[in-house]
Chain A
Amino acid sequence: MTAAPLTDAEIAAIRAQFPILDREVNGHPLVYLDSAATAQKPRRVLDAERTFYEHENAAVHRGAHTLAAEATELYEDARRTIAAFLAVDENEIVFTGNATEGINLVATAIGIASTRRGAGADFPTYALAPGDEILTTELEHHANLIPWQELAARTGATLRHIPVDDDGMLDLDAVPSLISDRTRVVAVTAVSNVTGFVTPLARIVPLARAVGALVVLDACQAAPHLALHPRALDVDVAVFSGHKLYGPTGIGVLYGRAAVLDALPPHLFGGSAITTVTLEKAHFLPAPQRFEPGTPRIAEAIGLAEAVRFVTEIGLDRIAATEHVLAERLHAALAGLPGIRVLGGSAGAAGQRVALASVVVDGVHAHDAGQVLEDQGIAVRVGHHCAQPLHRRLGATASVRLSAGVHTTAEELDRAVAAVAGIRSFFGLDTGRGAS
């Protein structure tokens, strides 16, 4: 890793841009360790949305007045900003509501193509039929599992899964036997939202590519932490949510290789996505407009573009270098705590993991454990984090997840680890009843 971690002074300057970090919770300065659920927003993102509404607000791609032209320019500029961020072409960027919607777009479009009726008749390339296979993994977020379950049910295709070992790692040795000429779609996450492990895509994507499968990447957890270039990764589709990347809620991004987007039918139907419409039939615009019917999320796209400029100015390489240090500190500290199990273990953190840890406290339910952290102003996620199959595989029903953001300091992680260390004694498990 060549980039230098952010200095304390740089992190302090970053923190000053997040208004919410000034607040207290339960009498303590807020320690926000739930960035994997949603990131906090720097003021410039909020300002970008407000400025748009105050100065240029208008519907885009229609109307001829000054505001409409300016709004359209800003919206398409946002698309260009996202495209540059991913090092792809602007016509390969579709704005969605969030990553979940992006994955559903692809799965639904394939489902429509598979019916070979209506719009599907014009787009047979990715049609599925019984005998075809969709491959995902045992560690996916429900958003990258359920749409494929539904697509399999609708088309008669078979859904298969790359298994996970006891350490929460994908069993890469099983991959060659799971990918064959029948495999039509391979959908994997770039980073696990439970273990923080970075998926070894180089061990999966070439095999999928060799059989001509469509490769879909859930980049939700990766986008805020690692430089992500879909073309370098050789994936066909990649999705992420704006709100996890310091942008607004209600906006997500779908990258699709141009040839793929052109071969997929629209998934939602309406205005702005068409060329000629008769009473009987519609002809659709090329991507990305084909996939953005109706008035799009204009202010949100502009806010997300500002968030992308925010992380780009800091530098994703420097963010990754900083997180590497934080991840090692977090996992080293947690590894020494009695009665604490980290899902995925504490080994092998270096370079393969974002600064995130899901812990199970022996004898204490995750909800109760999280309450102790909440009492100290530390915001974490408790539950199964929308990954029930992975929790089940690792022998847990729920866990407490600590996830860092660009504003997270080492001191904050130390405070959180100290709070985790005190959970068992609060419930009287190490030293007798501690909460009398």
Chain B
Amino acid sequence: MSGLESLYQQIIVDHAKHPHGVGLQAGEETSHQLNPTCGDEITLALRWSADGTRIESVAWEGAGCSISQASASLLSTLADEDAASGAAWTSEQLQALIDEFREALRSRGAMPLDEERFGDAAALSGVSKFVARVKCAMLAWVAAEDLLQRRGSS
């Protein structure tokens, strides 16, 4: 696999073309993240269980490069999969995933994402060798983190 193909894996290209989890509701709390150098943007919402302890799904809207859009789609897919298997995330669990994701993406290829924990989103491991693109992949995850921090401080 060439460097370029390790970045644009089929899973990523597919998610960019047919993104999952797109669609926000009027009035729901969102975080808007913008990458000012290229104009990529993601607006994201965490949908909580009725008791407010678990994240049942992640919804978003956005525009930008395939890495930024696929990453949001893969985050949303992972949330659905974990919720469907009875393991919907708590705040702490999502924060731990975000921390692990960030560490892997900043590792310059040294630390691949764990497929057990990240599912198809582990395909984003290839981004970590492309330092200029890490910010693209982080955009949705930073939006999720922003919402967690706001929730934690309120």
Interface of A toward B, CB cutoff 8 Å: 26, 364-368, 371-372, 375, 382-384, 388, 397-398, 426-428, 433, 435-436
Contacts and interface: CB of A to CB of B under 8 A. Distances in A.
Interface in B1-36: 2-5, 7-8, 10, 13
A371 B4 contact: yes
B5 A435 contact: yes
Nearest to A388: B39
B133 A375 contact: no
Contacts of B37: 383
Given A384-B39, A397-B39, A398-B39, A26 B3 contact: yes
5 contacts: A26-B3, A367-B136, A371-B7, A397-B64, A398-B39
A435 B63 contact: no
A203 to B, nearest CB: 32
Contact of A368 (B2, B3, B10, B65): B65
A364 B69 CA distance: 12
Contact of A398 (B5, B10, B13, B38): B38
Contact of A367 (B3, B4, B133): B133
B67 interface: yes
A59 B35 CA distance: 41
Contacts of A366: 38, 65
A30 to B, nearest CB: 16
A365 B62 CA distance: 13
Contacts of A436: 10
B66 to A, nearest CB: 5
A435 B4 CA distance: 9
Interface residues of B, number: 20
B2 A375 contact: yes
A366 B130 CA distance: 16
A191 to B, nearest CB: 22
Nearest to A372: B4
Contacts of A435: 4-5, 8, 13
Contact of B39 (A364, A368, A375, A383): A383
Q: What 9 pairs across the A-B complex have the smallest Cβ distances?
A: A367-B65, A365-B65, A375-B4, A397-B39, A383-B38, A368-B66, A368-B65, A367-B38, A398-B39
A26 B6 CA distance: 14
A422 to B, nearest CB: 11
A366 B133 CA distance: 12
B56 interface: no
B40 interface: yes
Contacts of B7: 371
Given A382-B38, A398-B38, A435-B13, A367 B5 contact: no
Nearest to B5: A435
B130 A367 contact: no
A367 B63 CA distance: 12
Nearest to A429: B17
Nearest to B69: A365
Contacts of A372: 4
A426 B38 CA distance: 21
Given A368-B67, A383-B38, 15 more contacts: A365-B38, A367-B40, A367-B67, A367-B133, A368-B65, A371-B7, A382-B38, A383-B39, A384-B39, A397-B39, A397-B64, A427-B13, A435-B5, A435-B8, A436-B10
A311 to B, nearest CB: 30
Contacts of B65: 365-368
